[in-house]
């Protein structure tokens, strides 16, 4: 049988460096997903207004933002209203911020 998530965390901490940090990030994401699957934590959904707020844009520009490269697809629709997973929007914002820093 494979290693437990705790054992992967310990190995990642021993490894250190960028690779260790990335392994720890992956372990934390797996732990979060496990909690969601166990029903202990439901994923947070965001509507257009909430997404616009997180991204720091006007809600009227959401239709343009949705057409940009790498923008996450909605997790589901309620009627015609799209809803996104909060973690995907936060990850998208982090990527956008990183790309902007790299261009400077």
Both 49 and 81 in one domain: the answer is yes
**Structure tokens of 23?**
């392994």
Q: What is the pLDDT of residues 4-17, one digit of tens each?
A: 888 989 998 999 99
User: Which residue range(s) make up the domain with 67?
Assistant: 45-103
In sequence order, what E strands does the chain have? 45-46, 76-78, 81-85
Q: How many domains does the chain have?
A: 2
Of 42, 55, 40, the residue nearest 89 (C-alpha): 55
The whole-model pTM stands at 0.59
Both 27 and 49 in one domain: the answer is no
Q: What is the pLDDT of residues 2-60, one digit of tens each?
A: 788 889 899 989 999 999 899 999 999 888 888 877 866 678 999 999 999 999 999 99
Both 99 and 49 in one domain: the answer is yes
């Amino acid at each position: 049988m494979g290693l437990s998530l705790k054992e992967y965390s310990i190995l990642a901490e021993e490894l250190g460096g960028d690779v260790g940090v990335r392994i720890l990030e992956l372990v934390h994401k797996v732990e979060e997903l496990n909690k969601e699957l166990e029903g202990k934590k439901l994923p947070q959904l965001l509507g257009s207004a909430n997404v616009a707020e997180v991204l720091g844009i006007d809600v009227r520009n959401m239709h343009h933002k949705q057409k940009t490269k790498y923008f996450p697809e909605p997790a589901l629709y309620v009627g015609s209203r799209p809803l996104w997973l909060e973690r995907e929007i936060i990850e998208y914002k982090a990527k956008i911020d990183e790309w902007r820093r790299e261009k400077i």
